[in-house]
A and B are shown apart, each in its own frame.
Chain A
Amino acid sequence: MRCQPTDERSSVTVVSKNGKAVAVAIRGSFVKDEGISMQLKVQLIKPGERLPVLGNFRKEGNEVIFEPVVPLTKGLRYEVLLNDTLLSEIEVPLGDSGSPALLSIYPSQDTLPENLLKMYFEFSEPMVEGSSLQHLTLIRNDRDTMRGTFLDLQPELWNSDGTVLTLWLDPGRIKRDLIPNKELGNPLKQGERYALHVNKSWQSKNGVPLTKNHSKTFVTINRDEESPDPVMWKVSVPSSNNKQSLEIQFQQPLDYSLVKECITILNSNGDVVSGKVLIADEEKTLRFVPDDPWTKGTFALRIESRLEDLAGNNLNRPFDRDVNKKNEGTTQEIFKKEFEIQ
């Protein structure tokens, strides 16, 4: 922030809150004037026409506070005018916002089915939304730049705090025999090598780009057309009177986002056992650490049928099903798998 007061008694300062320039405080002998708010303007300094920034002026003690409709932009310069005469120029400081980091890309495995349905990108900070695909490049076999792999959805699918993005691989291209699939082919092809590059140009909502480029390399294998089957899951049961983790091995990686939410543990009364869920082993294992020690009795995994594997096959039906075949899939909403704690 820089202030250039026109006289000793006037000053203009940027007021920040939660790292955002939410207001401008204007001091000076003129503040006491009736209708002072009508005489002040804040404008962005730029070539061409300058117009007053939308916002609200109010008097607060010996200051006039200007609250713009949206926070002033970091790194930009503004002028404060009193009766169309320059009072001061200010620059909104870039601040010391930390650089955002791309923490993980899910699925974690480096071997993925060719009908992979979605990917998740987890960041350390809320990121700019709406232009994600501009920062991603998918290269096949170090040679071909792939286009139209991901579905361009607006609004983009971010979690509520803006740190996790879900991207879909175009489902029309994944379903066999559909026209996009026939014309353009599956977005990924079996037996190929891919590198997904994330450009460091991607900025956080604070306007700070990633510190470095990221890449995820993977190879593709055959399609996964089977629904996950809880019967096949291996449950390692702890003993009673301790808080050891319960471990569920799925025998295959499951969807990172859904697996955290679709599985709960019920006690013999059918009540939810509280505890922490950890996803490990490249999304092939769930570890559940109870808040209270285990007690003896019959417990159950409560599994919502919407749980999916990497190819979008849920517990009821494969993602890509032949609708002409009868009786394929079920409509059960909740699956249960019991286990005993001794």
Chain B
Amino acid sequence: MKKIYFFLTLVAAGALILANTNRHSGVREGFVLGSPEIKSISALTFGPDGILFIGDSKSATVFALDTKDNQKVEKASPVDVKQFDQKIATALGTEVKNVTIQDLIVNPLSKKIYCAVQLNDGTPALLKVEGAKIEAVSLKDVSFSKVELMNVPGEEAKDQRGRPTRPLAISDIGFFEGKVLVSGLSNQEFSSTFRSIPFPFTKTQNQSSLEIYHAAHKQFETYAPIRTFTASEINGKKYLIASFTCTPLVLFPLDELKPGTHVKGRTIAEMGAGNSPLDMVTMTKNGESMLLMSNSSRPVFKVKYKTIEEFQGSLTTPVEESFGTAGVHFVSLPIVNVLQLDKLDETQFVLLQRKPNGDLDLFTAPDWFL
């Protein structure tokens, strides 16, 4: 631990010297050295070259952190950490009741696992898991850039005291083809915002409102908040694949998500009411891609991209049977109570699962699940 810190200090000092002589360019354009004021960590995603995006709901900001963790590893070692939350609490010198795991993702280059944690006192922490070892990722004297989400062009609403209004809770964050994608929920209106932010960050932020037809409901569910999403190419076209509370799976063409537009999604599956999707990830086996989705009240679902491509319809009629499903065929995997899910490498994915005995275990699932 201490070695890591000394190492980081050296790296930071080295970078400081470099920063004085060289301006960052390429994906690190606009990066500065310093200590980002991260007030909360709601969602994480990796971008190019070891850059970690941190969605901070409290300050309505997305930070891009240069982790310098960019050494490519093809095959990851399996992970198996029993009582993961307990181990995090011990590493942070506290009790498990004080710790909430906010997000867990894998660096696609190094295959190391990153985990965002929040303490009851509101302090966020960013941790890295290597084997059974938990380390802190320093947020001091690091290379970073940021973009504030509150002051979107055209959204000049301020109250009489001049404070910016409309804070939002970031429900998910992703990176796709040079853009940071952010879904958020206002803490006032029942409305969802979706932003597409070019990276490296500029002053441009595209915001769209999304509308879906929710077949479990009989009406348009305008602005329903996205709980989790991913982005992918389907039949040669790029789509946002989003899931909402009560579990419709909806496609939005990414090229239609332009500033101020109102985009209607195509609901391709109803995966059951009384449930919230938690995490979504794409895996590939034998050249066939599939979507895995973990859920609050259902097992992990598997949807083959091929069946998504073949499904040309749009669900517009209600599912009549209670908690019934419709649309694209999907399979329920024999894994329940999965709170976090991410791709570890080409053949493995990691799960954070609440076991029947109450333990929260982190482990690797092999591809025979797929």
Contact = CB atoms under 8 A, between A and B. Distances in A.
B5 interface: yes
Given A160-B58, A171-B190, A304-B157, A205 B121 contact: yes
Interface string B122-146: 1101010000001110100000000
B135 to A, nearest CB: 7
Interface residues of A, number: 74
B136 A69 contact: yes
Contact of A130 (B5, B118, B170): B118
Given A51-B91, A73-B98, A175 B170 contact: no
A155 B122 CA distance: 12
B220 interface: yes
A168 interface: yes
Interface stretch (A137-145, A215-223, A270-278): A270-278
A255 B186 CA distance: 14
Interface string B147-190: 00000000001011000010101110000000000000101111
Contact of B122 (A56, A129, A264, A308): A129
Contacts of A179: 216-218, 273, 318-319, 322
A203 interface: yes
A159 interface: yes
B359 to A, nearest CB: 14
Interface string B185-227: 1011111000000000000000000000000111110000100
A46 B350 CA distance: 29
Contacts of B237: none
A178 B188 contact: no
A44 B90 contact: yes
A275 B90 CA distance: 50
Contacts of A46: 90, 95
A151 interface: yes
A156 interface: yes
Nearest to B166: A261
B94 A73 contact: yes
A321 B123 contact: no
B276 to A, nearest CB: 8
A172 B217 contact: yes
Contacts, number: 164
B119 A70 contact: yes
Given A73-B94, A179-B273, A155 B120 contact: no
Given A168-B190, A178-B217, A155 B93 contact: no
Nearest to A331: B262
A203 to B, nearest CB: 7
A207 B123 CA distance: 13
A282 to B, nearest CB: 19
Contacts of A10: none
A206 B246 CA distance: 35
B217 A157 contact: no
B160 A277 contact: yes
B15 interface: no
Interface in B210-258: 216-220, 225, 245-246
Contacts of B57: 155
A175 B217 contact: yes
Contact of B160 (A171, A172, A275): A275
Contacts of B123: 20, 70-71
Contact of B1 (A52, A276, A306): A52
A177 B93 contact: no
Contacts of A126: 122
A219 to B, nearest CB: 24
Contacts of B189: 258, 306, 308, 314
B160 A264 contact: yes
A175 B225 CA distance: 16
Q: What's the interface size class on B, roughly?
A: 35 or more
Given A130-B100, A172-B245, A155 B218 contact: no
Contacts of A319: 190
Contacts of A38: 2
B271 to A, nearest CB: 14
A183 B319 CA distance: 13
A68 B93 contact: yes
Contacts of B322: 179, 183
Contacts of A73: 93-95, 98
Interface in A51-80: 51-57, 68-73, 76, 78
B81 interface: no
A44 B93 contact: yes
A228 interface: no
A76 B273 contact: no
B160 A178 contact: no
Contact of B219 (A57, A178, A261): A178
A322 interface: yes
A155 B42 contact: yes
A231 interface: no
B167 A159 contact: yes
A276 B167 contact: no
B92 interface: yes
Nearest to B133: A51
A272 B187 contact: no
24 contacts: A37-B2, A53-B92, A57-B5, A68-B93, A69-B125, A70-B93, A70-B94, A71-B123, A72-B94, A151-B245, A155-B40, A155-B42, A162-B122, A172-B217, A178-B217, A179-B218, A179-B322, A180-B274, A205-B122, A258-B189, A261-B165, A272-B160, A312-B190, A322-B219
Interface of B: 1-2, 5, 40, 42, 57-60, 90-95, 98, 100, 102, 118-123, 125, 127, 134-136, 138, 157, 159-160, 165, 167, 169-171, 185, 187-191, 216-220, 225, 245-246, 273-274, 276, 296, 318-319, 322
Given A70-B93, A159-B167, A277-B159, 14 more contacts: A70-B123, A71-B121, A72-B93, A76-B95, A118-B190, A152-B296, A166-B188, A175-B217, A177-B218, A206-B121, A261-B188, A264-B160, A306-B188, A321-B219
Interface of A: 20, 37-38, 42-44, 46, 49-57, 68-73, 76, 78, 117-118, 126, 128-130, 151-153, 155-160, 162, 166, 168, 171-172, 175, 177-180, 183, 203, 205-207, 255, 257-258, 260-261, 264, 272, 274-277, 304, 306, 308, 312, 314, 319, 321-323
